Structure 1
């Protein structure tokens, strides 16, 4: 009889330990699944910056950058511009302290390419976004989507953090080196978190 009780106790202990291990494995599995979902959600980044007037202009606006799955999209809304075409570029430094915007440096060109139109086979700066049209209302909208940028990834050839968005008085001719002869810098915003 004692042997039967001993066998029963051992059976209960083994079964209890087995269930605890199953629960532990289930808990670990659920924790891993939650971590993967959090990583997936955290891969989506969003950054909003403000554009301030420069060179005695009134041009201002907002720029939104979003990154998901290695693709960055940018939408810029700018107001108080003169009617016509204006250039917009990413410049080297997130420094908009000077009245003329020149404290932001030249175009962001981490791959040492000639200035040109975005996507041109002859080369272009990573900051050569291009031109946009402005109507009588003085408002302009610029959008671009690319896998050639990232937000805070640490890759010197792709990372836009620490750079600046510059809106120019005129249009980019896509040939003049190194800037496209786009005229004064009339609005600036540092790309910072």
Structure 2
């Protein structure tokens, strides 16, 4: 049964147990739009993401791969576009409160696979609580995360940003 955990009484999520993100696009993916939602559950956080307008997969001549798209929680809740060449640098680096190597940051997420520009995913993590991430940002990157390059996984340019807010 969905939502059943032995010895833990079920209770509906409260507003303090939920957060949301609305993504802002960059010139690197001008049609990108989407949302993300976080729901506190008894043993962790259920995460839902839905986006459209993702750039299609391709290999650039310089070896850069576009897609699948890495995405992560970043340390600052600021999504300033800047000059548009290196968008959303204002969000800072990956959120890493435990000083872990990349691939083990609490905000490291699975990559987004584009299906004709769309991606939808639900996953579960016990690496943080919803209350820990309010005011941070989520960045979608141009390239896949390799989960080992330090400090940030070599996921390339930032193509979208959204601030995590209480629902």
TM-score scaled by length of structure 2: 0.77
2:120 to 114, 137, 141: 141
What aligned pairs does 1:162-177 form with structure 2 within 5 A after superposition? Answer: 162-177=135-150
What aligned pairs does 1:41-190 form with structure 2 within 5 A after superposition? Answer: 41=12, 45-58=17-30, 59-84=32-57, 85-99=68-82, 100-116=87-103, 124-135=104-115, 137-152=116-131, 159-190=132-163
Q: Is contact 1:75–1:142 with CA below 8 Å preserved after alignment? A: yes
SS at match of 1:132: coil
Name the structure, 1 or 2, with higher relative contact order (CA <8 Å, separation 6+).
2
Deviation at 1:41, TM superposition (A): 4.5
Give CA deviations for 1:137-168 in whole Å, capped at 9, x if unaligned: 2001232212221122xxxxxx1112111100
Structure 1: unaligned runs, 5 residues or longer = 1-36, 117-123, 153-158
Aligned length: 141
Structure 2: unaligned runs, 5 residues or longer = 1-8, 58-67
C-alpha RMSD over aligned residues: 1.9
TM-score scaled by length of structure 1: 0.67
Q: Is contact 1:55–1:185 with CA below 8 Å preserved after alignment? A: no
Structure with a larger share of its residues in helix: 1
Give CA deviations for 1:24-82 in whole Å, capped at 9, x if unaligned: xxxxxxxxxxxxx9xx5565722222011024422221001111224211111111012
